[in-house]
Every structure is written in structure tokens, then in C-alpha cells.
Amino acid sequence: MSTCTTASRHLDEPLSGTAATARTWLLIEQPGPWGAKALTSSHLDPALGRALEAAAQGTGVRIALIRHPGRHADCGAPAERHVYAAHTTPGNVWLHAAMTRDPGQLLDLDLAALGTGDPRSFDEVLQGRPHTDDPLALVCTNGKRDRCCALLGRPLAAELAASGVNGTWEVTHLGGHRFSPTVLVLPYGYAYGRAEAHAVKEILQGVREGRVVTEGCRGNSAWERPGQAAELAVRTASGEQAADVLTVIRTDGAAPRWEVTVAHTDGRLWRVFVAQGASLPPRPQSCGSALGAPARMDVVAVRQLEEPPVAVAC
């Protein structure tokens, strides 16, 4: 059976620079079936879903629904729901968790503040606290958006959960169906494509150790697509694995060419030249869609601009 994922894999379409963009993720537990636009076509009150979508516009917050892996029979509204908020911008990375009986409370959140990295409204409204358990592995499984997410994502989520990966959740939409199974790892916000269980476990172990695994990585959701590609290119060129040390501090230019400046916490700077190209030959961007040439981010050059200051012994 030909699918958008088999075409993308066969044509070796690059993963770098394809992650969904969000400085902050707001995740709401919603069991049961999901429609293509899950916030308004699931068992969450659609009026609440529409209000949350409107409130999030322009804030840098991306809202998604999550559920435990497994069967998704309609068992009625849950008595309590997990809610998570995660900010992914290096230098202020955090993941907070809460439980709520009333998802309408989410309308009292200051989404603009959450988007800038301020968790206070989440903690005050929902009695949220920093998440101290295992990192989260969010696997896209929404087959109503694309069948590949269900065919490939749901078995991956089930395998991870069955093997004891406690932070595994199914999630409604991470973009890039043709890279299924797709996974977002929080708190750091790196997304992965064509994921396999053993690789996800390695990625999560890296998160526990404060490392970023770059193999199969689509990028950090904190950055726009040129910045995602640039940051990953710097990691590859420098061998830097530590999380939370690289920041995209400037992006000059516009499509199809950008100059991206990436800074390290030790003072090093890199200038990365990124060009937008077209993925050829044409392929479906999702199952059932017409053939197209998806945009791709190609790193043309990586140039280090500055060495870190040398410590002088007294």
C-alpha cells in the first residue's frame, strides 16, 4: 500500500526544519475519538474548543489534546483530566502539570503570558506544579487527519506504553504526516520523525541526562523552520549534545534564503545560511492529497564567528 510516509521515506526527504512551531504547548487530556480538528470535533465541548483556539491566536501557545494509548471507546467525560503546559525556549525551559475536573478553567489562563514563558497563571488557576516525573513522549495518532498517524503512530504509542515508558501519550496533531510516526518530547520541545520505539527510548534517556539526540530530529518547536534547521546544523558541526545551551538569537532575510545566528551559552556564535528548496519529484504531503513539492530547509553553510573567552589563571 502506497502512503505519504512510504513516498517520503523512499525519496529520503530530509527531516530537519519540519517541526511544528510553538514556544509553549498546552496539553489537555481528552479520551475518546478525535476528529480532524480535535479541539472542536472530539468529546471536548466544541464551544470550549473554539474559545481556546481563539484565545491562543498570536500568543505562541499551541493547544493539543492527549489521551492514554490503547482503545478509545466512549466512556463518558473523565472525572479528572491531566493538563500540561511546557515552555520550550532555551534558558527558560519548563514543564508543569495539573489535574482538573473542569476544563472550562483553561479559559482563565493567561495564554499570552504562557507564550512568553510565564507559568504563574497555570499554577494559580489549576494549582499546577513543576512536572518531576519522566519526560513526556507525545505520539501523533490522529487518523482523522491522516491515516498514517493511526497506522504507524498508534502501534508505536502502544509499544512504548507496554514497555514501561510512563510519559507516553497519544496527541492530536504534530504536523508532517508524511514523517509518521512523529513524536514530540517535552520539556525541551524537540520533535522526531520516522520514530521507532528503541530510538524514542534513547531520546528520552537523553532528556533525563540533559542531552539532545539529533538523529531523526525535525527541530526544536521554539524556532521557526529556518532556525530549527540552523540549530540542528550547529549541533552536528560542533558535536554539541547538551540541551538548553543553543539559542537562535537572530534570523535575517526571507524565503527562500536566511542567515540565522545561533549562540551558545559559553559565548560562541555561528552564522548559518539556510535556503528553502522544493522537495522533488512531487509527492503527497498527506494521504489522499494531490502531488506537491513540499518546502525543505537546506543548510548551505555553517560558520563559527567567535570563540568563547579564554579563562586566565590568576
Per-residue pLDDT of 146-161, as tens digits, reads 677 778 889 999 999 9
Q: What is the pLDDT of residue 112?
A: 98
Q: Under DSSP, is residue 178 helix (H, G, I), strand (E, B) or coil?
A: helix
Among 6-20, 100-114, 266-280, where is mean pLDDT lowest? Answer: 6-20
Q: Tell which wins on pLDDT, 9 or 269.
A: 269
Q: What is the pLDDT of residue 282?
A: 79
- Scanning the structure block, which residue is given the C-alpha cell 531523526? 216
Close Cβ partners of 295 (under 8 Å, ≥ 6 residues apart): 225, 276, 277, 278, 279
Output DSSP code: residue 21: P
As a residue count, the chain comes to: 314
pLDDT band at 303 (very low <50, low <70, confident <90, very high): very high
Please give the mean pLDDT across all residues of the chain: 91
Burial of 157 (0-12, 13-18, 19+ CB in 10 A): buried
Query: Among 145, 174, 139, 151, which residue's Cα sits nearest to residue 68?
Result: 139
Asked whether the beta carbons of 79 and 113 are under 8 A apart, the reply is no
Q: What is the pLDDT of residue 279?
A: 84
Output DSSP code: residue 96: E
Q: How far is CA 89 from CA 183, 190, 222, in A?
A: 18, 11, 5
pLDDT band at 308 (very low <50, low <70, confident <90, very high): low
Sign for the pseudo-dihedral over CA of 282, 288, 294, 296: negative
